[in-house]
Every structure is written in structure tokens, then in C-alpha cells.
């Protein structure tokens, strides 16, 4: 992906084929506002991280892309939100290392209640070998582009299922 600076605008092309405007999203970010030329169906994402800054940043980025976002600072709060919004949640994104219950255990509980729920686990101190193969893994630190690509990929898999 190649961002281009255009006199006060930041143009970011998502996807591999810039010619396919309706298959990919082309967006112009101007003064912190998003103008979508072509929309994809967006997901409802539950973001779980005990670090408020990371949780807030991820929520803002995902909302900016048009996703609905629920956030939780703990596994207990995440389970409560999940049980209240089980049918709406399309994707779980969780930190691996958290107090109380870790991300993989949380994801396993949620998948027991909702089989097939896509899960993206992230961590700055673990690697993909430590993650169950039924979960996706995103190492911290990660770029916004990497996060959005993973979310898009998991949302597409959910729609195909």
C-alpha cells in the first residue's frame, strides 16, 4: 500500500488492485474526516485490551473505517458485552496478556457460546507459535494498515461462511 500526500489531503488506497474501485475502498482523509467513495459492509468488532490508550486508538481507527466498535478493558467486561451483543458481534480482537483471563481463554469461552466467531489476538510479548491455530495473530507493534487488512480479511471470511 502506498499512501500519497495530496496538498493537505492524505489519500490511502486499500487493497491490491487500485483499478477495482468498488472492490476496494478508496478514501480521502481530510482534517480527520473520512469520505468514502465506495463502501463495503462493515463489521461489529469487540476490542479487548487492558491498556486504555491501545483500546482507544484501535476503536478510533476501526470506527473511522465505518465499523461498529464495542470496547472492554477486562475479560469480565468483554464477556458481559459479548453476552449482551452476541448476535451483533462479528469479530473479537483481544490482547493476549491481560489480568484475570488471558485473550486465548477469553476467545475460547466466546467461541464455545458462538462457534465460528472470528478471533484476532495481538501481543507484543508472544509470537504466533504460542497461539492456537484457530485464532489469527497480530504482533505488536502493528501498523494501521496491518490491522485494517486483518479485520477486512476476517470479516470477508465471516461473510463467506
- Interval 106-138: pLDDT, tens: 999 999 999 999 999 999 887 666 677 789 999
Give dist(CA 159, CA 18) in Å, integer: 23
Instruction: Return d(Cα 16, Cα 134) in angstroms, integer.
Output: 26
Question: Are residues 30 and 98 located together in one domain of the fold?
Answer: no
pTM: 0.74
134 lies in the same domain as 87: yes
C-alpha cell at 27: 478514501
pLDDT for residue 37 = 36
Cell of 72: 472492554
Contact indicator for 96, 122 with CB cutoff of 8 Å? yes
CATH code for the domain in which residue 147 is found: 3.40.50.2300
Amino acid at each position: 500500500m502506498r499512501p500519497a500526500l495530496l496538498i493537505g489531503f492524505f489519500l490511502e488506497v486499500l487493497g491490491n488492485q487500485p483499478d477495482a474501485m468498488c472492490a476496494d475502498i478508496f478514501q480521502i482523509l481530510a482534517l480527520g474526516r473520512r469520505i468514502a467513495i465506495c463502501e463495503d459492509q462493515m463489521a461489529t468488532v469487540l476490542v479487548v485490551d487492558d491498556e486504555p490508550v491501545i483500546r482507544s486508538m484501535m476503536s478510533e481507527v476501526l470506527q473511522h473505517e465505518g465499523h461498529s466498535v464495542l470496547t472492554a478493558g477486562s475479560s469480565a467486561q468483554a464477556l458481559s458485552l459479548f453476552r449482551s451483543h452476541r448476535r451483533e458481534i462479528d469479530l473479537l480482537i483481544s490482547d493476549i496478556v491481560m489480568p484475570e483471563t488471558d485473550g486465548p481463554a477469553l476467545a475460547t469461552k466466546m467461541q464455545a457460546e458462538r462457534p465460528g466467531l472470528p478471533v484476532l489476538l495481538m501481543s507484543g510479548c508472544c509470537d504466533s507459535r504460542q497461539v492456537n491455530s484457530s485464532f489469527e495473530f497480530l504482533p505488536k507493534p502493528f501498523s494501521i494498515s496491518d490491522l485494517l487488512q486483518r479485520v477486512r480479511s476476517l470479516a470477508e471470511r465471516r461473510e463467506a461462511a
